[in-house]
């Protein structure tokens, strides 16, 4: 499958498709701009002008002038010297995002690279030759230098790459794929390893995982409302219109749509409860705030993914090289911190609903959701696991962007910490998916414990319940909970429920 994008105008749907295996195609019109940019480098060098990273050293060595005959070697050396990453390799999906964003950025014609450099990045995507990029080593300013150097190394036949299911020397992977390594020209090494593509790819992956978990937690939340015979009044649109927060209004509308046609609300029309706990009643307010944050960060990351973030930038029309700081990933760091807060709150509210469900004093259901409490422990320890994961996410939600540590002999004296701020989102999303999965199991169990026909919810929620029950049966006598929880987590993180007819249309758009 191919995906053609115009550099600078890719959508989240484009990035998701490229992450999932599509080849990237660029319009024919981009190549003239790439050639002009490369030509501008040659013109600038002919003037004898000093240009950072083109005919100078790097970082603290920026005042060291490099001889013309060493300019190509300079670019190779910067790639090799910056291959100083550590830790596990980035996943295949994140690596594909890195390659796609770097190619799209260079193709905008402001980086001074040769057309063949962009084409080789496209070829790596097309043939699924994926650089083995260590996940750790970036502080998120002067770009993601170490991880992007590992990406760039593969283009010159150095380092390692994944190909046909194995990690192998990059030169071998290129040969097997029928590709030829590059001889880097002036500015090219710096253009490849300078930029925010790794931080942005990790943040996008975190956002996309958060999206599935957010949408599924709304489903779990209304199932919990039904399991404890909660009130539908808190989802009345008139309440939320008066506050005017867009996410809150959208979430309340979705909750009302999910509950439409429920027989359960009729069965307890004479209920004497006045108000439900906040974990039920305030779902539109809390999840609406999460939705607003996710939408805001989606816009920030879309801008970043479409931007040009290396340095210096080349303006062919003026034959000018401008040295600035687009490599500083502060927008990505802020976005990652906000996504972390959202994931934390998704899990926190979900766990509180599970705790309510297992407590007979609050839910009116058998203790720990088992038909025979005492002999059976039911969901007792599943709730403990949810609590443990929520606390772990609380610790991880501490902002990364407020930290900074000088590097490069104080030349790079303020950094964003975007890379690890974004990388932690993947584990946080996994934890949140587990917590929401536990709530799904608990809410479905609560509904199952009510007598028929009083436990029949809306058509959409019954479809969700049936989908879950096709994989995980109701808990009667105690059994190992871990396999059930794993199945539920997979359903949450994959967005499996979102394929149910009508369900996705009833939920708000997060990433547009």
Q: Which residues form the catalytic set?
A: 52
DSSP-assigned letter for residue 90: P
Give the integer Cα–Cα distance in Å for 286 and 359: 23
**71-82 vs 145-155: helix axis angle to the nearest 10?**
120
Q: Which one, of 452, 400, 393, lies nearest residue 428 by Cα?
A: 393
Task: Give the C-alpha separation, 500 to 463, whole Å.
Answer: 7
SS3 164: coil
Between the two ends of the chain, the Cα-to-Cα distance in Å is 22
Between CA 143 and CA 195 the distance in angstroms is 4
Q: Using CA atoms, how far apart are residues 159 and 168, in angstroms rounded to an integer? A: 9
The backbone torsions φ and ψ at residue 162, rounded to the nearest 5 degrees and listed phi first, read: -95, 130
Q: Which of 472, 458, 452 is nearest to 500 (CA)?
A: 458
Q: What is the C-alpha to C-alpha distance for residues 73 and 147, in angstroms, rounded to an integer?
A: 20
Cβ(199)–Cβ(422) below 8 Å = yes
Residue 324 makes CB contacts below 8 A (sequence gap 6+) with 311, 312, 313
Token pair, residue 226, equals 């039904």
Whether the CB-CB separation of 356 and 224 falls below 8 Å is answered with yes
Q: What is the 3-state secondary structure (H, E, C) of 215-278?
A: HHHHHHHHHHHHHCCCCCHHHCHHHHHHHCCHHHHHHHHHHHHHHCCCCHHHHCCCCCCCCCCH
Sorted by sequence, the CB contacts under 8 Å of residue 433 that are 6+ apart come out as 209, 212, 213, 216, 489, 492, 493
Q: Residue 146 and residue 438: Cα distance in Å, rounded? A: 39
Q: Where are the beta strands (DSSP E) in 64-184?
A: 86-89, 130-131, 134-136, 160-163, 166-169
């Amino acid at each position: 499958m191919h995906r053609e994008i115009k550099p600078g105008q890719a959508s989240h749907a484009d990035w998701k498709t490229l992450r999932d295996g599509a080849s990237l195609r660029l319009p024919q019109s981009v190549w003239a701009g790439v050639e002009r940019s490369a030509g501008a480098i040659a013109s600038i060098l002919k003037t004898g002008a000093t240009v950072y990273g083109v005919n100078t050293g790097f970082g603290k060595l920026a005042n060291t002038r490099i001889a013309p005959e060493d300019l190509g070697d300079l670019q190779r050396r910067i790639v090799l010297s910056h291959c100083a990453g550590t830790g596990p390799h980035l996943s295949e999906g994140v690596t594909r995002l890195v390659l796609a964003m770097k190619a799209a950025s260079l193709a905008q014609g402001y980086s001074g690279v040769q057309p063949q450099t962009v084409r080789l990045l496209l070829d790596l995507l097309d043939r699924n030759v994926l650089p083995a990029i260590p996940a750790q080593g970036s502080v998120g300013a002067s770009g993601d230098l170490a991880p992007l150097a590992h990406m760039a190394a593969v283009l010159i036949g150095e380092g390692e790459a994944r190909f046909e299911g194995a990690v192998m020397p990059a030169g071998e992977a290129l040969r097997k794929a029928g590709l030829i390594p590059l001889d880097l020209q002036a500015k090219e090494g710096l253009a490849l390893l300078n930029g925010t593509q790794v931080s942005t790819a990790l943040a996008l992956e975190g956002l996309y995982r958060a999206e599935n978990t957010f949408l599924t937690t709304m489903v779990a939340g209304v199932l919990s409302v039904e399991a404890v015979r909660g009130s539908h009044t808190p989802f009345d649109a008139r309440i939320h219109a008066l506050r005017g927060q867009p996410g809150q209004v959208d979430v309340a509308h979705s909750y009302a749509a999910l509950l439409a046609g429920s027989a359960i609300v009729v069965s307890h029309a004479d209920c004497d409860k006045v108000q439900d706990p906040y974990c039920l009643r305030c779902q539109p307010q809390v999840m609406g705030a999460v939705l607003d944050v996710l939408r805001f960060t989606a816009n920030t990351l879309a801008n970043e993914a479409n931007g040009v973030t290396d340095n210096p930038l080349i303006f062919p029309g003026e034959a000018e090289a401008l040295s600035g700081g687009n490599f500083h990933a502060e927008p990505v760091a802020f976005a990652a911190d906000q996504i972390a807060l959202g994931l934390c709150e998704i899990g926190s509210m979900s766990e509180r609903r599970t705790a309510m469900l297992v407590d007979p004093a609050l839910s009116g259901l058998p203790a720990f959701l088992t038909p025979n409490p005492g002999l059976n422990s039911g969901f007792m320890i599943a709730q403990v696991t949810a609590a443990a994961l929520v606390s772990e996410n609380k610790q991880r939600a501490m902002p990364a962007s407020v930290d900074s540590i000088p590097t490069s002999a104080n030349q790079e004296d303020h950094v964003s910490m975007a890379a690890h701020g974004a990388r932690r989102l993947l584990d946080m999303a996994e934890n949140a998916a587990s917590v929401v999965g536990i709530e799904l199991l608990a809410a479905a169990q609560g509904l199952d414990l009510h007598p028929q026909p009083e436990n029949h919810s809306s058509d959409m929620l019954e479809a969700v319940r049936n989908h879950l029950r096709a994989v995980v049966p109701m808990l009667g006598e105690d059994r190992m909970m871990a396999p059930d929880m794993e199945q539920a987590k997979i359903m949450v993180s994959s967005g499996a429920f979102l394929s149910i007819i009508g369900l996705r249309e009833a939920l708000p758009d997060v990433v547009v």
